[in-house]
């Protein structure tokens, strides 16, 4: 099988591409940066370098593929809407068109639980929870638009599905851990006083495996595909964890101290609002109201539908995932740089 994976130079996209390649599938990779070709995290595939908002690049990358896995996205807590709309909405539209034109039979979209986040606790919710009337960030708004487009494109010629992995972590992390370390090293990380919240996390290998399961289910057709096609699924470890304990464990794995300073959520929300005013450019401010609400609320999800319909079974516990992350970080050639 020939598979196109977008965002292949990124953390999850690279893991998905490696998982397909390890079982013998041929992979096309599409990303703005070329993936690493040497070292422990090398990935050697047929790479197409460019922007998914470029229709011609998408068309070339999709030629001859049977499956498209779309994991590329503009991620961030702040910024003007145009870049998010260009990548997350226009780029997804391009890939759907090119996948259909290329004769692809399956389209797997990497979404996020943020598409249904309304600023309040979400404890054990399933896929029936609706999109909010008002999104709290351009990221979540544009990802929700993209997810709706993907699910609406499901049909007899090309089946589609959307996966919502939450807080993917593990060896090779280029997003979550660097952001945490950046804030911790600069003294900008504070735990919220008087709050106890729980979150879901997902080990990267399990997140990648879910994408393979989704692709296989769509290709199989019949009753199995009918349970999956045109639907969204939450993906996680299935072990909700205390938010700040998890943050502390991630920092410890990287050799950084635990978060000791505290701040009230109300003051933090005000500071987030103030930062948004002062940081009017494209650079990400130290704090935003969306980040505050994410940290101040519980969000963990019922993955029963993924277990039942996809056959998804988390294989790496949170504890084992942290152990593997620490072992990866302790190898001699590892250095987590501040996120930029």
Its domain, for residue 14, covers: 2-329
Q: How far is the C-alpha of 111 from the C-alpha of 91, rounded, in Å?
A: 14
Q: Give domain status of residue 337, yes or no.
A: no
Q: Give domain status of residue 34, yes or no.
A: yes
> Is residue 131 among the annotated active site residues?
no
Q: For the purposes of burial, counting CB atoms within 10 Å of the CB of 148, is it exposed (0-12), middle (13-18) or buried (19 or more)? A: middle
Q: Give domain status of residue 129, yes or no.
A: yes
Which residue out of 131, 139, 269, 312 is catalytically annotated?
A: 139
Q: What is the CATH number of the domain that holds 323?
A: 3.40.50.720
Domains of the chain: total: 1
Q: Give domain status of residue 110, yes or no.
A: yes
CB-CB contact of 276 with 290 (8 Å): no
Angle at 312 between CA 309 and CA 314, to 5 degrees: 155
Q: Give domain status of residue 339, yes or no.
A: no
- In tens digits, what is the pLDDT along the chain, a chain of 340 residues? 899 999 999 999 999 999 999 999 999 999 998 876 545 566 778 899 999 999 999 999 999 999 999 999 998 877 789 999 999 999 999 999 999 999 999 999 999 999 999 999 999 999 999 999 999 899 999 999 999 999 999 999 999 999 999 999 999 898 888 888 888 887 778 888 888 899 999 999 999 999 999 999 999 999 999 999 999 999 999 999 999 999 999 999 988 888 888 888 888 888 888 887 887 765 677 778 888 888 889 999 999 999 999 999 999 999 999 999 999 988 745 455 444 4
pTM: 0.92
Helix (H) or strand (E) holding 194: none
């Amino acid at each position: 099988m020939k598979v196109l994976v977008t965002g292949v130079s990124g953390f999850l996209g690279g893991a998905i591409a490696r998982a397909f390649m390890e079982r013998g599938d041929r992979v096309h990779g599409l990303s703005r940066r070329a993936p690493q070709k040497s070292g422990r995290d090398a990935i050697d595939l047929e790479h197409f370098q460019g922007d998914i908002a470029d229709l011609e690049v998408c068309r070339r990358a999709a030629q001859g593929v049977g499956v498209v896995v779309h994991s590329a996205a503009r991620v961030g807590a702040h910024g003007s809407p145009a870049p998010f709309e260009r990548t997350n909405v226009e780029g997804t539209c391009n890939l759907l068109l090119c996948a259909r034109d290329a004769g692809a039979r399956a389209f797997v979209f990497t979404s996020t639980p943020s598409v249904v986040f309304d600023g309040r606790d979400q404890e054990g919710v399933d896929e029936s929870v609706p999109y909010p009337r008002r999104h709290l960030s351009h990221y979540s708004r544009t990802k929700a638009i993209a997810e709706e487009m993907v699910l609406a494109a499901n049909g007899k010629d090309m089946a589609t599905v959307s996966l919502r992995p939450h807080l993917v972590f593990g060896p090779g992390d280029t997003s979550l851990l660097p952001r945490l370390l950046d804030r911790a090293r600069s003294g900008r990380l504070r735990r919220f006083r008087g709050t106890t919240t729980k979150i879901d996390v997902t080990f990267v290998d399990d997140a990648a495996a879910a994408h393979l399961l989704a692709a296989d289910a769509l290709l199989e057709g019949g009753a199995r595909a009918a349970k999956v096609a045109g639907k969204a699924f939450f993906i996680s470890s299935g072990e909700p964890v205390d938010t700040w304990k998890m943050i502390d464990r991630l920092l410890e794995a990287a050799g950084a101290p635990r978060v000791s300073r505290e701040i009230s959520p109300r003051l933090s929300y005000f500071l987030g609002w103030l930062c948004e005013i002062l940081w009017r450019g494209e650079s990400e401010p130290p704090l935003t109201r969306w980040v505050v609400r994410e940290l101040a609320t519980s969000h963990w999800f019922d993955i029963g539908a993924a277990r039942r319909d996809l056959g998804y079974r988390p294989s790496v516990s949170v504890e084992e995932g942290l152990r593997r992350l620490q072992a990866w970080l302790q190898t001699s050639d590892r250095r987590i740089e501040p996120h930029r």
